[in-house]
Amino acid sequence: MKYITKILICLACFSASLAQSQELDNWYSVEILIFSNEDSSALSAEAWPLLPEPNRRDAVSLQAASDDAAPFSLMKADQMVLKSPSAQLQRTGQYRTLLHTGWIQPVARTQNPTPVRIVAGNILDNGRYELEGYIGIGRGQYLHVRPDLYLNRLLTPSQASALNRGSRTDTSSEAASSYDFAMPEILSVHLDQPRRMRSGEIHYIDHPLFGILVSINPL
């Protein structure tokens, strides 16, 4: 992931200028760039247990961009700052952008923020999208980003076969309990890594199969 680090360094100066904007009634702009790691070798990074389908009834959906600054309304394309990293990641051939979006919202002082529903990518044979889940933004002394995201990846027959072979050769009790099933054609993996950050910073949240760049700034 050294390539991601270089991108973050390049963005640092630009982000610093955004941090100087004045906070208005605790409203923030939230921009996220979510990308998948297309390298097949990443599949063997760890064991992948079966996961339930995400279902948060308290989640909100993003609304169309509006001049009225409505809560959870989308930002306009010219307001977003992560366009260059998205293009750079695409050019590597190893990463693919699944979602690049931004919205505005009030951010309350809470450890249990309102989750924003995230859906992106292609619809797979099981009816699920490549990317599903939620992101919540709260604050205390720092801003808190709480991703609860699922990547659904269609495996090639050789990838499924290789993962199943790996499950049979690893005889540890932990691995055996994790791999006590035949690897499905569609693999679902979970990213749940809460992160503290300051406004004006760009943070990278990592997973072997996908990652997130997050930028949050006061309005």
What's residue 12's pLDDT? 55
Residue 33 near residue 85 (C-beta atoms within 8 A): yes
What's residue 164's pLDDT? 72
- Which stretch, 63-67, 147-151, 153-157, has highest mean pLDDT? 147-151
For residues 107-121, average pLDDT: 95
Query: Which residues, at least 6 apart from 78, have a Cβ–Cβ distance to it below 8 Å?
Result: none
**Domain residue ranges of the chain, discontinuous segments joined by +:** 2-218
For residues 132-149, average pLDDT: 96
Summarised one tens digit per residue, pLDDT across range 68-81 is: 889 999 998 888 98
Q: Report the predicted TM-score, pTM, of the whole model to 2 decimal places.
A: 0.80
Residue 19 structure tokens: 């941090």
Residues in the chain: 219
Summarised one tens digit per residue, pLDDT across range 28-45 is: 999 999 999 998 888 877
Residue 47 structure tokens: 């064991």
Confidence of residue 83 (pLDDT cuts 50, 70, 90): confident
Give the C-alpha separation, 73 to 104, whole Å: 6
